Structure formats: C-alpha cells, structure tokens
Structure 1
Amino acid sequence: MKNKILAFALVVMALLPSCEKYTDITPTGAVILNSTQDYYRLVSFPNRAYVTLNFQYLVDDQWMKESNVIGLNKNINIINFTFDEQTDRVSLLSSSNLYDRAYFYINRWNTIISGIEFTDGEQRIKDLAKAEAKILRAFDHFILVNVYAKAYDPATAATDGGICIMDKYDLEAKPKKSTVEEVYRFIQKDIDEALPFLQENPAGPYHPNVAFGYALKAKVHLFKREIAQAKEAALKSLSYKDEIFDLVDYSRRGGPTSVPVIAPNNPEILSYMYMTGYNEMNFGFNYVISPELRNLFGNNDARFNLFFVNNTASFVDLGTGAAYYNIRFNQFFYGTVGLKTTEVHLMLAECYARENNFTDAIAILNKLRAKRILSGTVNLDVPATRQATMELIVNERRKELLFGFHRFFDLKRLNNEPDYAKTLTRTYPLVSTAVPRQTYTLAPNSRLYIIPFPLNAMKLNPNLRLNTDEKLPF
C-alpha cells in the first residue's frame, strides 16, 4: 500500500509545479501526499482557467475591432469571426490551452479519486473528496464534449463522435474516442455518484458545493432535453442557493467604482473558475459585444450601463454600435465559465416553457429583470406560444450569461431544434471603407461549431480523430 501512496505522491509532485501560473499560491517545494486530508486539500485549485479563444467569435454576441481583421493574415479568430468554412483552420490549431488544461484538471481529479483510498483517514473525508473530484471531472468532460463534438442530439448521439473519456490517471494512455452518448452517460454517472456526499458549505470556495452539483445536473439534463429531470435538479439547486444580486440597487449606490464587489462577495457564484485568470476582465479587447447584443440591452439595463463602454475608441470602432466590458476585476467579480444562480433560474424558466407553463417561465424572467432593469418596462407579458416564450428566455440568457461558453453552447444545442435554430449574419466592416462591406453567414449545421482537436493531441493518440470532415495535415 505504501508503494501506491508514493506513486500517487510523485504524480502530484509532477502536477504542482506545472500549474504555478494558474494558482494563487506558488508551491515552495516538493509535496508528498500521505494523508486523507492531503488529498482532500488537493481538490481546491484556485484560478482554474478555461481559455475560450478557439471559438469565442463563433457567436452573435461578440465583435472584433476592424483593425484586428482588415488586411491581416487569417488567424483562427478571423476565420471564426467571418464564418469562413474554406480556410484551413485545422492546421492553425497546433495546440489548445483549453484542451490541455481540461485534461490536466481531469488527471488531477483522477489522482484524488484513485489515491485517497490508500491513505489513513476518515471514510467520511474520503467519500467527500471523491465526490468533489467526480463532480469536477464531470464538469470538465462536459466542457470538452460540448466544444469538440456535436451538441447532444437524441437521434444521433449514439453514433456522433465525442471525446476521449479519462476515468483514471494515466499519462501514457491512448484512449479510444467515445461517442457523445457515452460521454454524457459517464458525466451523469459521476454527477449522480457525487451528489449524496457534497456539502452545502464546503471547506473553501474552490471546493464544489451541493448547489453547484445540482446546477450541473440540471444543465446536463437540459442539454439532453430531459426536461422533467432538469427542472427537478434546478429546483433542488435553488433550494440551497438562489440569490440574485440586485444591480438596480447597486446602481443607486454608485456601482463598481463606488462599491467594489470582489469574488467572495458576489452571492450568485456557484463555482469559482475563470476564462484566463482572476484578473481576466481587465482585457477589454477580448470582451467586445456586438451591435446586435448592445441593441438587445437597450438603454435602461444595469447589466450594460454598469459594466460597458461604447463611446471611446480604445477597443471598439466608434459608429459600429459595439461596446466593451470596462470594469477591473477588483471592482466587480463577473462570473463567466462557471455556474451561477441566475443561470439556474434561467434553466428553470426554460424547463417551464418547454412544458408549456408560460406563466411560471415569465415569472422567473420578471423576478430577474426586477433586479436588472433600471426604468421603463420591467415585467414582460406572458406570450401565447412556446416559441415566443423561448425567445424571451434566450434573450435574457444572452444578456445575463455573457462571455465564456454560454452563447456558443446555446447556439449549438438550440440549432438541433428547427423551432430555435438561428442562421447567424454579420455585416462587416461597418466603418472602414478600405475593403468592401460584406455579409457573412453561419448556418445552424455548420461544421465550424465543432472545434477541431489540437494537432499535438491527435499526433500523440492515433485513436483521436476529428469529428468533422476536415483533412489532417499529416
């Protein structure tokens, strides 16, 4: 048994130095894990990052400054922004921070799940550590399958190419690629095994709590269109944590420049994780919203008025109608890639709409809007149809769940349903006359929505191949 403990300790010693720049605490020396508490503490991983650069412009909500597109050689951002299906994007994706980091985290969770059983300590702590590691392992597989594979479609998931499932620590493994259905089955098994052991108030903010667990369960069921199960899980999550931060009152108090709200003080956050790091929202050029989304906000929405700027030329072209996020991370913590209570409220609203309970669906939207809309019409009327109700819900999701994965994942999953599919159109440039203005379109079934696996991963694992019909350069 001691040999197994030593083996896992050496694994963790290898993991820790490589994640220095992604943690708040820099390791000062080798760490030997030989107790149950050591493994439990390993679950906490501050500053966990999920970089979205490979696909952030494949949506209708983000925008690029014209000087970053016109006259430049095509990079992956320009290809995605112009919805270009002809240029070879596969060769440009030699590596991927998102792909590498997600599997790095999965290996960390696998180390905990496998290694903790060989330690001396309370079984209660072992069960808790394994549960927390499993819910995070489920989250990371969920992210990967929704980036690199087709969105879950009940009619085709059993044959659609997915990702490699990693259920144990093995740096030399060359696993086969599972189907989308198999990946979702694995995710749901991890979630269901974890939920009975998760705590309402865990040891620290980087330990997942039970509200996060049920929120993730709701999201997975919703993406599979298992509406009754999604509704039940969303209600369960909200029974533990349902706060909505009042931005209307916050505006009256002066907003982020007068009353900073750092990460621990935002009551909506269910999981502390980031796109690039805890200071990510400092980089305005990465967080430019499109004229379409800016118009959707209108002029009386605190979500826009508090956080965005559209009247300076720092990161946007004046005259386009685009705007950029302009609040420093230490003034307001804005959750992006993680889960938060408002997403759970909106998932519940969608469940009600899909069950034709339009009254309760709109009641949730109005509850949210009461803490978002500064003046004018706050309460929405109840539509007569499911499609009209869903449109209102999707619009609120676009305004509430900015950046990260949210709009990209929503477009992918909703494009599988004819009633909600959307052909994206982008007219560009809007100001410059250096090149002709064009209208670019992205069809709901475009292969661009399935991001290619990075070349370095496919070269290492011959069992891993693209989920699209694009050609490999080797």
Structure 2
Amino acid sequence: MSVLATVALSGCKKFLEHQPDDRSELNTPVKVAELLANAYPHGNYIPFAEAMSDNAGDKGNRSGNAIDITNESPWKYEDQVDAQLADTPPYYWNACYKAISAANYALEAIEKGGNTEAYMASKGEALVARAYSHFMLVTFFSKAYDPATAASDPGIPYVTTPQKTVEGSYRRGTVAEVYAQIEKDLEEGIPLIRNNTYRVPKYHFTTQAAHAFATRFYLFKKDYLKVVDHANAVFPGTTVAASLRPWNTTYNALGYYELQALYTNSSEPANLLIQESATSWGTSYAEYNYSLSSEVQKIFNPANNPIKRALAISSKVFGGTEFFLNIPKFRNHIVKETINASFGEFYNMIPLLTAEEVLFNRAEANVMLGDNAAAVNDMDAYLSKRIVNYSATAMKFTEAKAMAFFPGMDVKDALVGSILNFKRQEYMHEGIRWFDIIRLKIPITHPYISGGEVITLGANDPRRVIQLPQEAIALGLEKNAR
C-alpha cells in the first residue's frame, strides 16, 4: 500500500537532505542518535482534539472571528480530508507514520551494527518513540480500549520495519493487537534509555518521560497497578508537589507574554517531553470561533469544583472580549527560509507529556484500586500548587467534599469525577480533555450560541473515532463506521 510507504520514506526527509540516500550511512551510534530527532510526530493534534471536546464552545461571531475548517470541522464532528493541511487528523496521521519510519530505520541500523552497548540507549528511545506514535494513532483513529471488544475492534497498522518500496501489504489488525505491540515496545525500551546521552533531554524520551507515557497507556488499558508503578518512577521520593507548575506563586505573578514564554519551555520542570510542531496554534487558538467561550469559562468559577476555591489558572484567562479568550500557554515561532525572507513557517513547542498528567493518572488509578487515601494525597499536592494562599486544613481535598459536589454518586465515582473536574481546567487548550472523553465515554453537546441546532455526541457515537485519511482507505484499509 503506497500511502504508508510514501509517508514512511518521507519521514526522514530532513535527515536525507544531509546524507546520501543510502541506508548504509547509518553506520555509527552518533548517526543513529541524530536520526531519532525525527522519531517524534511533528504534527499537532491539539487543534482537533480540543475542538471536539467540551472545552470548545461557540463564540457566535460568524463574521468577525476566525471560521477555519481546521477548527469548525472537528467541532461539528465532520471528517477532514486534506492531508496537506496542518492541524488536521490526516496531517497528524502522516506525521506519526513519518516518526515511526525514523524509529524503524534507526532500529534496523542498530540491528546491522550488532546491537552493541553503544547503540542501546538509542534502541530504547526508538522503541518507546515507536510505541508512542502508534498509541496516538490508535487513540484517535480506533475505538478506545475496551477489554470486552478490543480483540475485534479495528486498530491501525503497527509498522515495525522500514518501508523501502512504495508497495506493501498492511492491515489494521485489532486494538488488542496494537496494544500488545505497544506494551512490548515499552517494556523492552524503557530499561535501555540513558538520559545522559541527550543534549536537550526534554526533546527526547528520558526515563521520566517514558514512564509518564506508560501511565497514559496503562490508564487507557485499565491496568491500574501499572499506572501507579510507572507514576512512582516519575515521582521518586516526596518530590510530587515540587514537580508541578507553581501556578499559585511564580505563574500567578507572570504577565501575558512572560507566561506564554515559560509554559512550553524546556526549563519548566513540569514539561517532561516537548516537541516542535508545524502549526500556527500559538495564534489561532485565541481567535478560533469554536474554543474557550464565556460559557465554557464558567468551569473556572469557584462554585464549579469540589473545593469551592478558584484555581490560580482562572486569573490567567485573557482576551478582554468573548472573541479572544485564552490562557497564554503557546506562542508561534517563525522559521524563515533565509535571513532576509519576509515570511516563514509557523512552529510551536508542544508539551506532549507533563508532570500534572502523571499525577492525575495516578490519582485516578489509585481510586480504581481502592486506595482513596493515596488519591486524596495526590490531589492535595496538586491543589497546594493551584490555590493562592493555600491552606492545608481549610482547603484540603476530601471524600466528603467530592461526594457533596457529586450528590448521588458513590465515593469512587465522586472521586474520579473530582479528579477529572480539575484535570479539565488544567488542560484547557491542550487537547487532553478529549482523551478522557473517549476513554470514559463522556457525552458531549456543542450548542450554537445563536440557538437552533445542538450537536450531540453520545457515549457510543461512531464519530468519536476519527475517520482514516482518504488515501489510506483508497489503498485498502477498512474505514471507520459512520
């Protein structure tokens, strides 16, 4: 099938611009390590993931605000088809398979090099990076993992060899098969990673970032004990609170552009893995018609969380008017072709994995394991970095507060609901909310502010699964149901 092969071969384009198109040139550990800079998807999933979620409302400005298909189509749950258009699912599909291609070429070179100790750190990075891209693909383009149906639900092609011809044989397999391969790559890769091999560790899978990814994977897989085990590896000793963004102190004192510069910076300890992406998200997310609206902004009201206290992030909603509401988390970087060029391409740094997500994942997993006390401790650590003038007594998170906020729920559901409540606020503009929506089958409504049609997405709506790119369907892959 040519679509995957073409994508795979183009994945190493930047590398090949500086090397002959001869794979025997990948003959040293240094060259393999350099290739792995391309083993991460350089596409941005946030624009469509955020628009599909309940973090996006209709601002109602049909004429003055940006109506862009990269924003409007996912908000309406319409299939997008242009694989050349950045910030769309087809573009992200291609970006992931390009990353997978780079990982596979590196693994082939390591095999040819004899799997010596000098290659082992790169082998670990390649395996975990390959697992990550496949996980993101199966998460967006297949049904969320369900033990009862995973063995029959269509997955995505798990590519483990370099694609050297334009023709090939590919199959979607099942979600269960994809998850088994992801787990295999993770278990083999994590022990091999060596952090001291990286010049800028935050741009690579360090051991901490790899364990963070594992917490996300195992939360989807519902293997809660492994979520906790991997989260504990991210937070050694008593460093949990110190690993989180200091929203109620340092962040609270920052101005718009200062916060924008810091949030995705590699110097921020909470950023465990960041990656550049070809995207204009840093400008567009504040201007999109379907994004943070005044109605959605109500989630930040103190009355709308179990502690009844405003999180510091709520004071960092800027914009002045309905049409430009945003929290300054991202900024565009312009890369020019030449020094004298008058224009260039937009790039953003995207936090792929953060310490806060690990904490939320561990807290939820502990609730599911019946260790409510551990979950409460994690949420207290979180709130200690989120509420201005935090008091460990007056503002303590408790089971009783969770159940009072979710009347009629048992303690387990109330605790999980509370965790998700804070997590939704935390990840405004970052697309993470969509993962919880599909994982837990949370219903969504997208009402138009001007009245009339209300777009609904039920628990089992097939539009929760993004359609495969047209090129992939045309060349033989089974399309998703509609």
TM-score by length of 2: 0.78
Does residue 188 (structure 1) correspond to residue 188 (structure 2)? The answer is: no
Alignment partner, residue 244 of structure 2: 244
1:344 maps to a residue whose letter is V
Does the 8 A contact of 1:60 with 1:292 survive in 2? no
8 Å Cα contact 1:269-1:335 kept in structure 2: no
CA gap 1:17/1:246 in 2 versus in 1, 3 angstroms? same
CA contact (8 A) 2:155 2:178 kept: yes
1:61 aligned residue: 55
Return the alpha-carbon distance in structure 1 between the equivalents of residues 37 and 144 of structure 2: 30
Are 1:372 and 2:369 matched, yes or no? no
Matches for 1:365-444 after TM superposition, within 5 Å: 365-374=379-388, 378-383=395-400, 385-415=411-441, 422-429=442-449, 432=450, 436-444=451-459
Name the residue aligned to 1:304. 314
Farther-moved stretch of structure 1 (45-54 vs 98-107): 45-54
Does structure 2 retain, via aligned residues, the 8 Å contact 1:60–1:290?
A: no
Q: Is the 8 A contact 1:61 1:292 kept in 2?
A: no
**Deviation (angstroms), 1:12:** 10
Partner deviation per Cα, 1:92-132 (whole Å, 9 max, x = no partner): 42531001110011001000001123248x82231111110
1:251–1:80: structure 2 CA closer, same or farther, 3 Å change rule?
closer
Percent identity reads: 22
263-272 or 52-61: bigger deviation: 52-61
**Residues 335 and 290 (structure 1 numbering): CA distance in 2 closer, same or farther, change over 3 Å?**
farther
Quote the RMSD (CA, aligned, Å). 3.4
- Give me the whole-angstrom Cα distance separating, in 1, the residues matched to 2:58 and 2:14: 32
Task: Assess if the C-alpha contact under 8 Å between 1:218 and 1:234 holds in 2.
Answer: yes
Q: Tell whether the 8 Å contact from 1:365 to 1:396 is kept in structure 2 after alignment.
A: no
Q: Distance in 1 between matches of 2:11 and 2:455?
A: 44
Q: Aligned equivalents of 2:395 and 2:197: distance in 1?
A: 36
Find the counterpart in structure 2 of residue 24 from structure 1. none
Of 272, 275, 278, the match for 2:274: 272
Quick one: which amino acid aligns to residue 139 of structure 1? Y
Identify the match of residue 224 of structure 2 among 217, 223, 227.
227
For residues 19 and 100 of structure 2, the distance between their equivalents in structure 1, rounded to whole angstroms, comes to 23
1:164 aligns with 2:190: no
- Letter of the 1:338 partner, please give it: L
Shift in Å at residue 412 of structure 1?
0.7
Separation in 1, partners of 2:190, 2:11: 27
Aligned residues: 423
- Whether the aligned pair in 1 keeps the contact of 2:47 and 2:281 (CA below 8 Å) is no
Q: What is the CA–CA distance in structure 2 between the aligned matches of 1:71 and 1:236, rounded to whole Å?
A: 45
Question: How does 1:312-391 map onto structure 2 within 5 Å?
Answer: 312=321, 315-316=323-324, 323-326=325-328, 329=331, 338-374=352-388, 378-383=395-400, 385-391=411-417
1:93 and 2:81 aligned: yes
Mapped to 1, the partners of 2:461 and 2:358 lie a distance apart of: 29
TM-score by length of 1: 0.79
- Please report how far the alpha carbon of residue 379 of structure 1 lies from its aligned counterpart in structure 2 after TM superposition: 2.6
- Displacement, 1:226? 1.0
User: What letter is aligned with 1:380?
Assistant: F
Q: Cα distance 1:75–1:253, how it changes in 2: closer, same or farther (>3 A)?
A: closer
Asked if 2 retains the 8 angstrom alpha-carbon contact of 1:191 and 1:217, the reply is yes
For structure 2, list consecutive stretches of 5 or more residues without a partner in the other structure.
1-6, 84-89, 303-309, 334-346, 404-410
Report the counterpart of residue 130 of structure 2 in structure 1. 137
What CA distance in whole angstroms lies between the structure 1 residues aligned with 2:147 and 2:438?
A: 14
The one-letter code sitting in structure 2 at the alignment partner of 1:309 is: F
Instruction: Say if 1:336 and 1:402, in contact at 8 Å, map to a contact too.
Output: no
The 2-side partners of 1:238 and 1:231 are apart by 10
Q: 2: distance between equivalents of 1:69 and 1:208? A: 44
